[in-house]
Structure 1
């Protein structure tokens, strides 16, 4: 059976989180590594809160070094993910302010 879009995105998020942690020399939680590496989609983890928190807590030099690494495809993917994540959060905030 083919994985759903949600399953694919959960694995992609784990892969990006692994890239971010490894780029900082930090330890990767076992369940996140399993999610990133698994092709069975049996070990999926929603790591969006941890991933976004980790990015938010980067100092500007580390942020630039990791997110703007032109030689890394994962860096480009992570930068794009972060941009889309911020846009989604901003849109959600505008909707709440408008309708509540």
Structure 2
């Protein structure tokens, strides 16, 4: 975090349909992954809980879900399509709040 209004996150991007559908399922440990979807996410088959951010078109946080456990569904307002799945505890560690601007760097 470089101030209380902007946080930089380094993320991988799900660029093909398979990775968008799969997300972090099948991974042994979590990492920051950005997905574009309006239809919600699920954690069926995930081996670990994750934190989730929903961003608007300006990359401001509009919804937060901490510690989303395996075998759950998370839905949000479908007007937002940018999702970042994060290792559990990232939201708290980085002090991410609603309306915070996220500076995204694609790995």
Q: Same fold (TM over 0.5)?
A: no
Rg bigger for which structure?
1
Ranked by relative contact order (alpha carbons within 8 Å, sequence separation 6 or more), the top structure is 2
Q: Per residue, is there more helix in 1 or in 2?
A: 1
TM range (shorter): under 0.3
Name the structure where strand makes up a greater proportion of residues: 2
